Amino acid sequence: MAPFGEGNPEPTFLSRDVEVADVRVLGEDGAHLRLRLRDGPAFRQGRRVTWPAIAFYLNGNGNPAPQVAPGDRIDVVYTFSQDRGDAGALELRVKDLRPAGAPH
């Protein structure tokens, strides 16, 4: 599907009601998040899959990242990227997030 650019935008995905399994705030200014996310309904049905995710500057350059905690349920917009530090494993690159079910 690559290369992406004018005329071939990168695909963006939305997942609703995703559970935050783990979160770490990164960066000197606290502007980045490293997350592990899981699909709540699938997890409750015994499918114990989590996805690594990274978020950069969701609140703008230099502003702290949104407050999220393990157990929070969120709606998340993301693309896919390769994690350079994990042998090229896929991770979600978070573009936006909000509390699950929040008004648009």
**For 83, how many CA atoms within 13 A lie in the half-sphere containing its CB?**
14
Domain membership of residue 33 (yes or no) is yes
Domain membership of residue 91 (yes or no) is yes
Domain membership of residue 7 (yes or no) is no
Domain membership of residue 21 (yes or no) is yes
**What would the two tokens of residue 28 be?**
């000197």
Total domains present in the chain: 1
Give the pLDDT confidence score for residue 37 in this predicted structure.
96
Give the pLDDT mean for 60-88. Answer: 86
Residue 65 maps to which CATH number?
Answer: 2.40.50.140
**What would the two tokens of residue 75 be?**
């709606």
Give the pLDDT mean for 70-99. Answer: 88
Alpha-carbon Rg for the chain in angstroms: 14
Instruction: Summarize pLDDT for 37-68 with one digit per residue, the tens.
Output: 998 666 667 777 889 999 999 888 778 899 99
With contact defined as beta carbons under 8 Å apart, do 57 and 28 qualify? no
Give the pLDDT confidence score for residue 23 in this predicted structure.
97
Domain enclosing residue 74, as ranges: 13-99
